[in-house]
Amino acid sequence: MNSAMGDEARAWLLALVGMLLAGAASAAAEESTSIAKPGCQERCGNVSIPYPFGTTEGCYFNDDFYISCNSTHYDPPRAFLTGSTIEVINITVQGKLRIMQFIAHDCYNRSGAPVSSNTPFLTLSKFRISDTDNKFVAIGCDTEATIQGIQDVQGYISGCISKCDSIDYVDNHTCSGIGCCQTSIAKGVSYFELSVGSYNNHRGVWDFNPCSYAFVIEEKMFNFSSSYLRDLQDVTVMPMVLDWFIGNETCETVKAKGMRDACQGDSTCYNVDNGSGYRCKCLDGYEGNPYLPNGCRDIDECKDPNLNNCERMCRNTKGNYTCFCPKGYHGDGRTDGTDCVAIQSGSLVIQLTVGLGVGITALLAGSTWSFWAFKRWKLIKLKHKFFRQNGGLMLQQELSRRDTSTETAKIFSAEELEKATNNYDESRIIGRGGYGTVYKGTLSDGRIVAIKKSQIVDESQIDQFINEVVVLSQINHRNVVKLLGCCLETEVPLLVYEFITNGTLFEHIHNKSKASSMTFETRLRIAAETAGVLSYLHSSASIPIIHRDVKSTNILLDDVYTAKVSDFGASRLVPLDQVGISTVVQGTFGYLDPEYLHTSQLTEKSDVYSFGVVLVELLTGQKALCFQRSEEERNLAMYFLSAFKQDRLSQILEKCVVKEAKIEVVKEIAKLAKRCLRVKGEERPTIKEVAMELEGLRIMVKHHPWGNHDEPNLEEMEYLLGEPSLKLGSNAAYDSMKDHVILQVGNGR
Ligand SMILES: *[C@@H]1O[C@H](CO)[C@@H](O)[C@H](O)[C@H]1NC(C)=O
Ligand SMILES: *[C@@H]1O[C@H](CO)[C@@H](O)[C@H](O)[C@H]1NC(C)=O
Ligand SMILES: *[C@@H]1O[C@H](CO)[C@@H](O)[C@H](O)[C@H]1NC(C)=O
Ligand SMILES: *[C@@H]1O[C@H](CO)[C@@H](O)[C@H](O)[C@H]1NC(C)=O
Ligand SMILES: *[C@@H]1O[C@H](CO)[C@@H](O)[C@H](O)[C@H]1NC(C)=O
Ligand SMILES: *[C@@H]1O[C@H](CO)[C@@H](O)[C@H](O)[C@H]1NC(C)=O
Ligand SMILES: *[C@@H]1O[C@H](CO)[C@@H](O)[C@H](O)[C@H]1NC(C)=O
Ligand SMILES: *[C@@H]1O[C@H](CO)[C@@H](O)[C@H](O)[C@H]1NC(C)=O
Ligand SMILES: *[C@@H]1O[C@H](CO)[C@@H](O)[C@H](O)[C@H]1NC(C)=O
Ligand SMILES: *[C@@H]1O[C@H](CO)[C@@H](O)[C@H](O)[C@H]1NC(C)=O
Ligand SMILES: *[C@@H]1O[C@H](CO)[C@@H](O)[C@H](O)[C@H]1NC(C)=O
């Protein structure tokens, strides 16, 4: 621990020295703001040419980016794309290229004879017409215009029609179909041809509209005016936008081939739409040309109050900035943080600032020591505080009262768990849930454990939390993830569980490659085991243990698909409203008991409801995620219930369930799920009834693995199903089944 403190102190020292030197450093860091390679032409007439574009050999990235600057025929000079006749009027390093493109026209004289027309086209050997920036527009009152293009390798045609009788009805400033119509450009177009024609040779409208026009134009440059109907004859070109990018491969492919991408300095590579090329962009906090070495320059956020949220003082750092407070104040200095608060006199900071005046050397030595001592004292105090706050004293008492022969929860120290997880290393994270992070750790005795670190604590729940820790740590049931202990010295309690090898039920249901190997029988067994263990805990000796957060991500599986329910009562650690919120926000399947919205209480019957959802999930499998996507407002339970009602059950079932299970059996499970999902808690069955029915179904399926041809004896099936109806009351099979269930539950204790 001492070495950790040393590191912290060193970091603090460095920061202090950095502060003193900051002024000098920032003055020296002036960098050039050139947009082109050194010695290359930065402009061609009015157009600035940023690298990777360039006008002479060695100045551009490759031939795709060659700009020919024609100064012999034009003054000021004009820029053309790769030696073609396509004129370039603006280039941005963000990947846009503005060019001028000819417009199509079709004109007639008063008596309806054609005067002139054209069909301009544009062919790009590289780059694409931007579908987001451009529109195809046609203007005229007797006009039919088309754009024919090639998108990748296939052709496409689109267009629009505009007819009108009088200029009086033309909407000025809106291109809405009268006198002017428009349509979008397809994605990925590299070639197009425009043509425009008329139905009636502009007879009857000639007075105000002798010609039809069609063009592709940058949307934000276009504002229709009814005067265009008459006098667009002098206009021959319109501005439009191309998307440019480098190469024809993704960033990943380039890297995989062992080549360097074109991104330099503080920049990053990203793929354009379809992976047919890539671009570079400066990292957050930087701006400039990402294709040049040192092209991305740090943004000085402190210069622009819109870019920083410092209350008092701002210091620019590389790629970011920090706020700080003047002498005599403390806080983070952020308007969205703690601001700056005046320090009461006599505090440590004032003493330190006095020290500054005495001499920097003295200060550094002195302050390091006092910082270290202060921090150490504070840390010890903090640990005690957390331990008390987290109910440590209570737990210690509780544990010492019990007999020490049985294995109970252990109280781990903070250091022990830090060591086990390599100081909570990112690579040890095996899961992130609604209210915590789970790390994989190795204890000093070699045991592999899962360590759960919660995010927030509701202090009012601490008593119950401790109580449950004690109860849970004594439970040794094959379908419960064993709680080995906890650590209370940290701000939030850490829980230590046994490590389960094969991940969550959720993954096994929804991951295609895993789902296929989970048979119907296995699904049914997992359901039965889960219901069984919930039943066991609901009827546990001292207090009923309500799980409160039954969901497929809380059911873990070992390497032979044994269900291991985790996180019993762990939701105690979170204020309940947050459980609700996280359930909604995460867009899970809606496991939360609807009654909770009225009563704000989670009961045994809430577990039954959540279990019902898991049951549905097991039946619908991967399709569950699809409903979730298509039916945004409705949850899985409602979707399932409506499908069940409309007799569409087989449409929404997982493939293997349809294939392997008799529809009658599935219907029984569905009926059971339906009962679990009743809105009124009191109308739901107890989890014990549910467990018994599932166990009955399981036994039946096991002993009657019917093929599709082999009709079941319906009578026999009905009684094996164990509906708690009169018919079955004194049936031998039912009784023996019940025994079996009880037996299994008993085993767990
Ligand atoms: C260049 O810019 C000037 C002033 O902004 C403008 O008058 C001129 O028409 C522009 N030339 C070209 C070729 O765009
Ligand atoms: C400049 O443009 C004119 C007319 O388009 C063309 O004839 C000439 O070859 C061009 N010059 C260069 C250097 O590209
Ligand atoms: C090029 O476009 C950018 C962004 O739209 C604009 O800021 C810049 O002024 C334009 N440059 C020219 C020469 O039109
Ligand atoms: C229109 O053009 C046709 C053929 O070019 C010509 O015969 C006719 O006189 C023209 N009409 C007018 C009104 O100019
Ligand atoms: C539409 O606007 C243009 C200029 O903005 C104006 O000359 C014309 O008279 C207007 N037309 C109508 C029908 O309002
Ligand atoms: C088009 O121009 C008119 C007048 O110049 C203006 O009132 C209107 O807001 C503009 N519309 C758009 C979409 O820019
Ligand atoms: C990608 O570009 C390379 C070189 O520019 C070229 O040889 C290759 O044919 C292109 N591949 C495709 C799929 O266009
Ligand atoms: C995306 O790329 C694939 C293969 O390169 C192609 O078949 C597909 O048409 C492209 N889609 C679009 C929208 O460009
Ligand atoms: C800048 O620093 C703040 C606080 O340290 C952090 O929240 C933010 O993500 C950082 N921004 C960038 C661009 O790194
Ligand atoms: C599905 O499972 C396989 C095999 O364990 C794994 O490689 C893959 O990443 C998983 N897919 C998803 C989307 O989690
Ligand atoms: C559990 O994981 C192991 C190793 O990844 C694998 O071999 C085994 O098939 C998995 N078992 C199940 C039930 O997924």
| Per-residue pLDDT at 522 | 93
Ligand 11 pocket check: which of 558, 559, 560, 561 to mutate, most ligand atoms within 8 Å of Cβ? Answer: 559
- Nearest-atom number in ligand 10 for the CA of 514 is 2
Confidence of residue 107 (pLDDT cuts 50, 70, 90): very high
Domain presence at residue 314: no
Question: Which residue is closest in CA terms to ligand 4's atom 2?
Answer: 113
Cβ(116) – ligand 4 distance below 6 Å? no
Name residues whose C-beta falls within 8 Å of residue 333's C-beta, 6 or more positions apart in sequence.
Answer: 310, 311, 312, 313, 323, 324, 325, 339, 340
- C-alpha–C-alpha distance, residues 247 and 49, integer Å: 19
What is the structure's pLDDT at 367? 60
- Percent of the chain exceeding pLDDT 90 equals 31
The helix (run of H) or strand (run of E) holding residue 693 is: helix 687-703
Instruction: Give the strand pairing for 494-498 and 448-454.
Output: antiparallel
Q: How confident is the model at residue 626 (pLDDT cuts 50, 70, 90)?
A: low
Q: Are 419 and 547 within one domain?
A: no
Per-residue pLDDT band for 693 (boundaries 50, 70, 90) equals very high
Query: Is 128:189 a contact under the CB 8 Å cutoff?
Result: yes
The Cα–Cα gap between 101 and 87 comes to 8
**Same domain assignment for residues 116 and 237:** yes
Residues 120 and 234 in one domain: yes
Beta strand pairing status for 142-151 and 96-102? unpaired
| From 152, 271, 276, mutation site for ligand 8 pocket: most ligand atoms within 8 A of C-beta | 152
pTM over 0.85: no
The rounded distance, in Å, linking the Cα atoms of 690 and 5 is 55
Could you tell me if residue 635 is inside a domain? yes
Q: SS3 of 23, please?
A: helix
Write phi, then psi, for 99 (nearest 5 degrees).
-125, 170
Q: pLDDT tens digits for 350-359?
A: 444 444 444 4
Query: Does residue 330 belong to any structural domain of this protein?
Result: no
Q: Please indicate whether residue 403 is annotated as part of the active site.
A: no
Counted domains in the chain: 5
Q: What is the mean pLDDT of residues 459-476?
A: 69
Is residue 183 domain-shared with residue 210, that is, in the same domain? Answer: yes
Question: Side chain identity at 601, as an amino acid letter?
Answer: Q
Give the closest residue (by CA) to ligand 5 atom 6.
227
Q: Is 111 in the pocket of ligand 4 (CB under 6 A)?
A: yes
User: What b-and-e string marks burial along 6-29, b requiring 16 or more CB atoms within 10 Å of the CB?
Assistant: eeebeeeeeebeeeeeeeeeeeee
The reply to whether 51 and 86 lie within a common domain is: yes
Is residue 94 in contact with ligand 3, taking CB distance under 6 Å? no
- The closest ligand to the CA of 319 turns out to be 9
Selected catalytic residue, list 64, 142, 549, 607: 549
Residues 585 and 645 in one domain: yes
Provide the 3-class DSSP secondary structure of residue 543.
coil
Local structure of residue 458 (DSSP, 8 states): -
Give a yes or no: residue 622 inside a domain. yes
Exposed, middle or buried: residue 407 (CB in 10 Å: 0-12, 13-18, 19+)?
Answer: exposed
C-alpha span between 496 and 513 (Å, rounded): 30
Taking CB atoms and a 6 Å cutoff, what residues make up the pocket around ligand 8?
152, 187-188, 274
Q: Are residues 220 and 120 in the same domain?
A: yes
Which of 74, 93, 112 is the C-terminal boundary of a domain?
93
Find the CATH number of the domain harbouring 409: 3.30.200.20
Residues 6+ apart with CB under 8 A from 283: 266, 267, 268, 296, 319
694-731 core/surface letters (b: 16 or more CB in 10 A; e: else): bbbbbbbbeeeebeeeeeeeeeebbbbbbeeeeebeee
CA of 46 to the centre of ligand 1 (A): 6
Domain, as residue range, for 409: 393-498
User: How far, in Å, CA of 565 to CA of 527, rounded?
Assistant: 11
Residue bearing the bigger pLDDT, 126 or 730: 126
Q: What integer pLDDT is reported at residue 212 of this predicted model?
A: 94
Residue listed under structure tokens 């890297």: 255
- CATH number for 586: 1.10.510.10
Contact indicator for 142, 106 with CB cutoff of 8 Å: no
* Whole-number Å distance between alpha carbons of 296 and 263: 10
Q: Tens digit of pLDDT for each residue in 566-614?
A: 876 554 544 444 444 434 333 456 788 888 877 777 888 999 999 999 9
Ligand number nearest CA of 114 is 4
Same domain, 594 and 535: yes
Task: State the Cα–Cα distance between residues 610 and 554, nearest whole angstrom.
Answer: 11
CA torsion sign for 491, 5, 18, 370 is: positive
Indicate the DSSP class of residue 49.
-
Cβ pair 676, 594 in contact under 8 A: no
Q: What's the average model confidence in pLDDT over 621-637? A: 65
Per-residue DSSP letters for 141-194? SEEEEEEEEEETTEEEEEEEEEE-S-GGG--TT--SSSSEEEEEPPTTEEEEEE
Enter the DSSP assignment of 60. Answer: S
* β-strands 47-48, 43-44 pairing: antiparallel
> Cα(83) to centroid of ligand 2, in Å?
9
Kind and range of the H or E element at 644? helix 636-645
Are 82 and 120 in a shared domain? no
Asked whether residue 349 is assigned to any structural domain, the reply reads no
Residue 620 Rama label (left phi>0; alpha psi -120 to 50; beta): alpha
Portion of the chain with pLDDT greater than 70, in percent: 73
Tell me which residue of 556, 552, 571 sits closest to 454, measured CA to CA: 571
Q: What is the dihedral of CA 287, 291, 293, 296, to 10 degrees?
A: 0
Inter-residue contact 63 to 82 (CB < 8 Å): yes
Expressed in angstroms and rounded, the spacing between residue 139 Cα and the centre of ligand 5 is 15
In a domain, 309, yes or no: no
Looking at the fold, whether 569 and 445 belong to one and the same domain comes out as no
Contact (Cβ atoms closer than 8 angstroms) between residue 561 and residue 520: no
Cβ-based burial of 305 (10 A; exposed 0-12, middle 13-18, buried ≥19): exposed
Among 93, 116, 148, identify where a domain stops.
93
Indicate which atom in ligand 11 lies nearest the CA of residue 514.
14
**451, 417 Cβ separation under 8 angstroms:** yes
* CB contact set of 448 (below 8 Å; sequence gap of 6+): 440, 441, 442, 499
Of all ligands present, the nearest one to the C-alpha of 111 is 4
Max distance between CA atoms of the chain, in angstroms, equals 111
Tell how strand 142-151 and strand 189-197 pair up.
antiparallel
Q: Residues 401, 291: one domain?
A: no
Closest CA to 209 of 188, 222, 228, 223: 228
Q: Tell me the chain's radius of gyration from C-alpha atoms.
A: 36
Mutate to test the pocket of ligand 9, among 299, 316, 320, 324 (most ligand atoms within 8 A of CB): 320
* 353 part of a folded domain: no
Domain endpoint, select from 498, 514, 540: 498
Atom of ligand 10 nearest to the CA of 507: 14
Distance CA 288, CA 331 (A): 33
Q: Give the per-residue SS3 of 64-100.
A: HHEEEEECCCCCCCEEEECCCCCEEEEECCCCEEEEE
Q: Taking the CB of residue 41, how many other CB atoms lie within 10 A of it?
A: 16
Sorted by sequence, the CB contacts under 8 Å of residue 189 that are 6+ apart come out as 128, 129, 131, 149, 150, 151, 156
Asked if the structure places residue 343 within a domain, the reply is no
Residue 308 CA neighbour count, 13 Å, CB half: 24
Residue 95 token pair: 């990947």
Confidence of residue 745 (pLDDT cuts 50, 70, 90): very low
Q: Is the pLDDT of residue 553 over 80?
A: yes
Output the domain CATH number for residue 223: 2.60.120
pLDDT, tens digit (0-9, with 9 covering 90-100), for 360-412: 554 555 566 666 666 666 666 666 666 666 566 566 665 555 544 445 667 88
Least confident of 385-399, 521-535, 695-709: 385-399
Q: How many residues does the chain have?
A: 749
Q: Is the pLDDT of residue 117 over 70?
A: yes
Q: Give the range among 443-457, 474-488, 696-710 with minimum mean pLDDT.
A: 696-710
Pocket lined around ligand 5, Cβ cut-off 6 Å:
172, 225-227
Helix (H, G, I), strand (E, B) or coil at 249: coil
Question: What average pLDDT does the structure give for the chain?
Answer: 78
453 labelled ligand-binding: yes
Q: At what angle do helices 714-721 and 732-748 cross, to 10 degrees?
A: 40
Q: Which two tokens stand for residue 268?
A: 């990053």
Same domain, 103 and 70: no
Among the atoms of ligand 5, which is closest to the Cα of residue 170?
A: 13
Q: What local confidence, expressed as pLDDT, does residue 438 receive?
A: 86
